[in-house]
Chain A
Amino acid sequence: MAQFLMLLHDSPTDFEGMSPEDLESVIGEYVAWRRGLEERSLLVGSNKLEDEGGRDLSLVDGQLRVVDGPYSEAKEVLGGYFLIEAEDYDSAVEIASGCPHLRYGPRIELRRVDTSVH
């Protein structure tokens, strides 16, 4: 069994104009999907990332440059992740395709954890 990381990207306009009732039902969808993963013992871990206060590090002319960001107003920000177990990419895609985020967010990035022995 392999592990796959689902990276959920958010955009600021994702839930604009939705009524409180609709939002409540979307919350239900996400929670139910996660519960489904747990019931099938597919969930290794998950976390939400803090909205603000991120840092971007780079070296510029040998000097450390630390910039605040990303900001939640940016077009696409990484919001959180789910680490799941699956046999292969096909299975992982099948699991991830059930995630409500596909309908409400811009995209989900799916990457296999590299466990190769060199």
Chain B
Amino acid sequence: MVATLTRILGVSHLSLAEDAVQDALVEALRLWPHRGVPDNPRAWIVRVARNRALDRLRRRGNWATKAAQIAHTLESLHEEDDTPQFASELRDDQLRMVFLCCHPSLGRDSQVALALKLLGGFSVAEIARAFLAGRAAVAQRLVRAKRTLRQGEVDFSIPSPDELPARLAPVLEVLYLMFNEGHGAHEGDSLVRRDLCREAIRLTLLVCDHPVIGSTEADALAALLLFQGARLATRADSDGDLILMAEQDRSQWDRAKLRQATLLLARAGRGERLSTYHLEAEIAGCHAMAPSYEETDWHRILECYDALHAINPSPVVSVNRLVAVGRLQGAAIALAAGDRAGDWSRLADYYPALVVHAELLAENGDSGRARREFSQALELAASRPVRRHIERRLAALSLP
């Protein structure tokens, strides 16, 4: 709805669009309990929001300059709002909003904050919690981002076909980040923030399904998110404690998501380009489609990591690859490979890498060093479920 209002009012009035939708929602809240819910609630909100926004513009004295523009758009906004047509207009407005939030003139942090606010409908407080930033800092970031868009005279449109590949890349990155934040939830008490994950999946599918914007990279990302998303219910137990993949109850994995993911991965494979999303989706698929942990296709996973490392030789990819090496060739070989590549030292501040290192050491019989790595990881890990998990591993290694 904010997206539709933004289309009507223009990018320079983003805040006005947001406030107008907010006002309309409160008005609905006060009125519908007495009058009942209208047949097309979304259309009602948009119409009331539009009128509120126009009121404000009129009062500000902007009316004269905006009159012609807005009058034209007023006419094009159907009063009747047939559901299918309205729904497809809404979807296109959402996509325009996706591209706006991920505009290249904005830094990554601003893109993510803006996407969460305007697309995900998160409040400033919720965004601040998700990224462990102060509320004032997030509010300021949003203000600056909108100012940047205003001053850049960015328009509210779906990029042209030749602009599309460049404009799509940040969109996919932002959605990937959003999902990862919800999936790993590196800070705080709960391991999974379902709403972030759900929102990331919804928006990615929106991109995939669009005839012009859709691409094999988007399909691959969607497959990746759905494979991961299918397992969300089993990542943590009722106490909020971490459950490792080897111990997750696979019967609880969401079959529908897995099916959808498999179809999208197949569709992604029809392109000519192999992106990192393709490979990560393939890896996630290997895990998600294995009937049991013991039957996981580690060979295929290692192949994918080799290809991934060739495109993106980051230490994080390296370390994840070593987990597969460990499964196939044993902990000793994996440890040696990590030592040779200098992976462990390069990631001394990244607690997941320390945990991988610790597990390999423990498997190799070196409890002393394993305990030291776990202790180091404990210093760095901020989320309670992860900390509790590491403490349990430390306790297990301290037994005589």
Contact = CB atoms under 8 A, between A and B. Distances in A.
A80 B32 CA distance: 12
Interface string A1-40: 0000000001000110111111110110011011000000
A23 B29 contact: yes
B62 interface: no
Contacts of B21: 20
B60 interface: no
Contacts of A70: none
B33 interface: yes
B364 interface: no
Contact of B2 (A17, A20, A34, A80): A20
B25 A27 contact: yes
A89 to B, nearest CB: 23
Nearest to B122: A19
Contacts of A30: 29, 32-33
A22 B33 contact: no
Interface in A32-74: 33-34, 46-48
Contacts of A34: 33-34
A26 B123 CA distance: 15
B29 A27 contact: yes
A76 to B, nearest CB: 14
Nearest to B25: A23
B22 interface: yes
A40 to B, nearest CB: 16
B122 to A, nearest CB: 6
Contacts of B123: 17-19, 22
Interface of A: 10, 14-15, 17-24, 26-27, 30-31, 33-34, 46-48, 79-80
Given A19-B126, A80-B30, 12 more contacts: A17-B124, A18-B123, A20-B2, A20-B21, A20-B25, A23-B26, A27-B28, A31-B33, A31-B36, A31-B37, A46-B33, A48-B31
14 contacts: A18-B123, A19-B122, A19-B126, A23-B26, A23-B29, A30-B29, A31-B36, A31-B37, A33-B33, A46-B33, A47-B34, A48-B33, A79-B30, A80-B33
